[in-house]
C-alpha cells in the first residue's frame, strides 16, 4: 500500500515534504545498503533513516559488512552481511540479488555498495536509489560513474551544492533530487550548560567553543586552531578523532594553547559538547551537508562556519549562524569574538537556530520525502520508465 502524500517542488522533482504519521505506511520492503566499515556522517544517516522508516511502517533490511560500525549500531534492524570485496565482487552481487527477490527498492549509501547492489538491482529489475553524502571524487571509476549516470532511478543529493556536482558528473537532471538530512529533534534539544561542562571537565566561567568533527584535512581542524589562536580567552572543546590529532596537538603547543584546547576524543553522544558550548564552530574546507550543523542548532547553539558546500543551506546566515568566506581564519576568529562579546545576540541566534531545524530538518520530514521518492520510482518502473 503506497503512501498518499502532498507533493512539493524540491530539488527539481515532485517529492513529499509532509511529516509522516497521518497517512498509510508504505508496504514495499526496502533494502538499504552501506559497505563502509567505519564511522561517519553517512553511516549515522543510514542508521537514522533505517530507524525512522521502520518506525513509520516500512519493512527495512540493512546490507552491510559484518562487524562494521553499522552492524553494531543498528542491532534492532534486520541486518544481512556481504563482503563488498571489490568492484567486481560476484558474491556480493549474488547475495544482493537473492535479497532483492523480496524487496521492491534498493537504496545505496556508499560507492561500492551502489555499484554491486546496483548491478544486482538491474538484473532483478528492481529500482535503485543512491544517496550522495559527500562530494564525488575525481577518481570515481568508470564502472561507478556508469551506474550512477545510467542505471540509477534517483540520486538523492543532501544539498543543492552536491546536486550541482552530480549534474556535472552526468546524472540526468530529472533523476537528481535534493533531500536534506534530517535529525531526531526530540533527541537534540537545549540542555543544561553547567552540568555538561562539569561532566566534560570544562571551565564553568570561561567562554567555550564546541567542535564536533573528524580530525582530517577536509574538516579543517588545523584552520580552526589557527583561527582560535586569535581568540585567546576561549576554551576549545574538540570531540573527534582522526589522523591529524598529533599535528593538532603540536599546533596547540606551538600557539601556547595547550591549557585551553581540550581533546575529548570521539564521543558516542555529542550532545554534551553542544550543551557545554556557547557556540559551535566548523572550519570545513568542504562539506556536503553536515549533521553537526543541524545538531548544534537544534541544541540551541549558534553556528560559526565557513560558507562552503551545503552549510549555507543548513543555516540562515545572520539569523541562526555567522558564515564567513572559506579559509578566512581571521574572519572566523572575528565572528567568534563578536558573538562571545554579545551574549544577547548569541542567545537570540540560538533560539532561532533551534526553531529553524525543528521546522525544516526533522527526520520525519526527511523520511516523508524519501518514502515519496520510493513510491515514485516503484510506480515509474511499473510503467516501464526510469533507469535501464
Angle value at C-alpha 372, between 367 and 378, nearest 5 degrees: 125
- Long-range contacts of the stretch 62-68 (C-beta < 8 A, 24+): 62/32, 62/33, 62/34, 63/31, 63/32, 63/33, 63/34, 63/95, 63/96, 63/99, 63/113, 63/117, 64/33, 64/34, 64/35, 65/35, 65/36, 65/37, 68/36, 68/37, 68/38
Segment 90-96 mean pLDDT: 97
pLDDT of residue 2: 31
Higher pLDDT, 385 or 126: 126
Mean pLDDT of the chain: 91
pLDDT tens digits, one per residue of 147-198: 999 999 999 999 999 999 999 999 999 999 999 999 999 999 999 999 999 9
* 150 Cβ contact list (under 8 Å, min separation 6): 387, 388
Segment 215-236 mean pLDDT: 97
pLDDT of residue 13: 38
Segment 48-76 mean pLDDT: 94
Q: Is 204 helix (H, G, I), strand (E, B) or coil?
A: coil
Residue 40 pLDDT class (50, 70, 90 cuts): confident
Residue 361 pLDDT class (50, 70, 90 cuts): very high
* 167 Cβ contact list (under 8 Å, min separation 6): 173, 176
Segment 65-73 mean pLDDT: 95
Segment 195-211 mean pLDDT: 97
Segment 4-22 mean pLDDT: 36
pLDDT exceeds 50 at position 144: yes
Provide the percentage of residues in the chain whose pLDDT is more than 90: 85
pLDDT of residue 317: 98
pLDDT of residue 138: 80
> Is-contact 177 15, C-beta < 8 A?
yes
pLDDT exceeds 70 at position 6: no
Segment 243-270 mean pLDDT: 96
Amino acid at each position: 500500500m503506497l503512501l498518499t502524500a502532498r507533493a512539493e517542488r524540491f530539488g527539481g522533482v515532485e517529492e513529499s515534504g509532509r511529516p509522516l504519521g497521518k497517512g498509510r505506511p508504505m508496504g514495499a520492503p526496502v533494502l538499504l545498503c552501506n559497505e563502509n566499515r567505519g564511522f561517519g556522517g553517512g553511516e549515522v544517516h543510514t542508521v537514522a533513516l533505517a530507524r525512522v522508516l521502520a518506525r513509520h511502517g516500512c519493512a527495512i533490511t540493512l546490507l552491510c559488512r559484518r562487524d562494521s560500525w553499522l552492524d553494531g549500531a543498528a542491532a534492532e534492524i534486520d541486518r544481512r552481511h556481504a563482503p563488498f570485496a571489490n568492484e567486481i565482487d560476484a558474491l556480493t552481487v549474488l547475495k544482493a540479488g537473492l535479497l532483492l527477490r523480496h524487496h521492491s527498492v534498493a537504496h545505496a549509501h556508499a560507492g561500492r555498495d551502489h555499484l554491486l547492489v546496483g548491478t544486482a538491482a538491474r538484473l532483478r529489475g528492481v529500482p535503485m536509489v543512491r544517496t550522495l553524502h559527500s562530494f564525488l571524487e575525481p577518481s570515481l571509476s568508470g564502472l561507478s560513474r556508469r551506474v550512477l549516470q545510467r542505471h540509477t532511478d534517483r540520486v538523492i543529493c543532501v544539498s543543492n551544492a552536491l546536486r550541482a556536482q552530480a549534474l556535472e558528473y552526468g546524472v540526468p537532471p530529472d533523476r537528481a533530487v535534493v533531500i536534506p538530512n534530517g535529525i531526531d529533534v526530540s533527541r537534540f534539544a537545549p540542555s543544561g550548560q553547567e552540568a555538561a561542562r562539569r561532566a566534560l571537565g570544562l571551565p564553568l566561567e570561561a567562554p567555550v567553543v564546541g567542535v564536533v568533527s573528524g580530525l582530517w584535512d577536509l574538516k579543517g581542524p588545523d584552520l580552526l586552531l589557527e583561527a582560535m589562536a586569535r581568540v585567546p580567552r576561549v576554551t576549545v572543546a574538540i570531540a573527534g578523532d582522526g589522523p591529524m590529532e598529533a599535528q593538532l596537538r603540536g599546533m596547540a603547543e606551538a600557539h601556547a594553547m595547550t591549557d585551553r584546547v581540550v581533546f575529548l576524543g570521539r564521543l558516542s553522544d555529542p550532545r554534551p559538547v553542544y550543551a557545554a558550548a556557547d557556540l559551535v564552530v566548523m572550519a570545513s574546507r568542504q562539506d556536503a551537508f553536515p549533521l553537526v550543523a543541524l545538531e548544534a542548532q537544534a541544541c540551541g547553539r549558534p553556528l560559526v562556519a565557513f560558507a562552503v558546500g551545503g552549510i549555507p543551506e543548513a543555516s540562515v546566515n545572520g539569523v541562526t549562524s555567522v558564515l564567513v568566506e572559506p579559509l578566512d581564519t581571521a574572519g572566523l576568529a572575528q565572528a567568534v569574538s563578536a558573538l562571545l562579546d554579545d551574549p544577547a545576540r548569541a542567545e537570540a541566534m540560538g533560539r532561532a537556530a533551534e526553531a529553524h531545524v525543528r521546522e525544516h530538518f526533522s527526520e520525519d520530514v526527511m523520511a516523508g520525502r524519501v518514502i515519496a521518492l520510493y513510491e515514485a520510482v516503484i510506480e515509474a518502473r511499473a510503467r516501464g520508465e526510469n533507469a535501464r
